[in-house]
Structure 1
């Protein structure tokens, strides 16, 4: 998708629902002065409706969403604008699509126990993603491979500590 190297860095904060992708991503973007892209807001209405009914998304549901996010990364990259993106990016194939948007796409995996995740999801009334879908996301999650340019942070840590760890891990 994007073949020019602008020097812009793009960090995808990934993980299952309830891992704090938006909170950590927004805090990291604010600290760095970068744009934050909330991946959930890029879901088409059909995906939101499906999840709201308690139905897990299929790969076919996700492809257009991921391609739209990759295009947004490419747009920022072409403008020389670094970004932080909150996106589940559960599978390597999904991360490959996101990586197609720019030469320097890195991943920050917000990881935690099923118990902590379930508790967080139960504390989000009105969110379109029901706690009942957590198991499907955990089953789909493929951990970062060593060649994927990513780091893992523990969601039990304070937000500030996760941001500091991300900056240190990515040399920012």
Structure 2
């Protein structure tokens, strides 16, 4: 399963992603690290990214997620196919959900835990989340991806006031505090979508992790 901590900048996506990685013993990738340099340069100048800027970045995240889970399957499935020919293997991934023993949620999966990966990504629009689910890749990716890697989103929800305070305190990050309004305007809440767990940014990281685990467990 792919689990994505998502929300606008300043919500704590990376902090929660790292905590989930530790609790669930699954690898974590910060989606910001997968931006091409051209995107980083734009954001450093305070220029919002366009959908055209984001599309290849989102596709890269999806490919990295599929590749990461395939690597965990390792010996069971032999050599790994190239990212643009993974549809058959994703059918196998679709059958392997990430839940605790006997379907009960746990802060640490047991020895029978299923493969998975945690990724932090803003995923502000519904169309972006569709790409991350493997549903709407570009023509360049072809139609071979059928979105068989089960995907959950953890929506990190918070007020503008709290987010602004957090952004003002951040140092050395390419996202500027003044871009927060642009992100909030772009944000399309995922709360009405399937496969979404909502956590409040005011909660402690431990409480957020417990809510995510509870949500994943109740999905089985």
Common fold: TM-score over 0.5: yes
**In the alignment, does 2:76 pair up with 1:42?**
no
Kept in 2: contact 1:74–1:102 (CA 8 A): no
Query: Which residue of structure 2 lines up, in the alignment, with residue 62 of structure 1?
Result: 54
Kept in 1: contact 2:34–2:61 (CA 8 A): yes
CA distance in 1, matches of 2:161, 2:173: 19
Shift of 1:87: 0.2
Q: Does the residue aligned with 1:125 lie in a helix, a strand or coil? A: coil
Shift of 1:140: 0.7
Which one of the candidate residues 19, 27, 34 is aligned to 1:27?
19
Shift of the 102–34 alpha-carbon distance from structure 1 to 2, 3 Å rule, reads farther
Q: Does the residue aligned with 1:12 lie in a helix, a strand or coil? A: strand
Instruction: Give ranges in structure 1 of 5+ residues lacking alignment.
Output: 1-8
Shift of 1:145: 4.8
Shift of 1:29: 1.0
Shift of 1:30: 0.8
Query: Which residue of structure 2 lines up, in the alignment, with residue 3 of structure 1?
Result: none
Q: Does the residue aligned with 2:118 lie in a helix, a strand or coil? A: strand
Shift of 1:75: 0.8
Kept in 2: contact 1:14–1:107 (CA 8 A): yes
Q: Does the residue aligned with 1:129 lie in a helix, a strand or coil? A: coil
Which one of the candidate residues 45, 56, 65 is aligned to 1:73?
65
TM-score (norm 1): 0.91
Alignment of 1:1-172 (within 5 A): 9-79=1-71, 80=73, 81-100=115-134, 102-171=148-217
TM-score (norm 2): 0.72
Shift of 1:151: 1.2
CA distance in 2, matches of 1:96, 1:152: 18
Q: Does the residue aligned with 1:24 lie in a helix, a strand or coil? A: helix
User: Number of residue pairs matched?
Assistant: 164
Q: Which of structures 1 and 2 has the bigger CA Rg?
A: 2
CA distance in 2, matches of 1:90, 1:78: 27
Kept in 2: contact 1:73–1:102 (CA 8 A): no
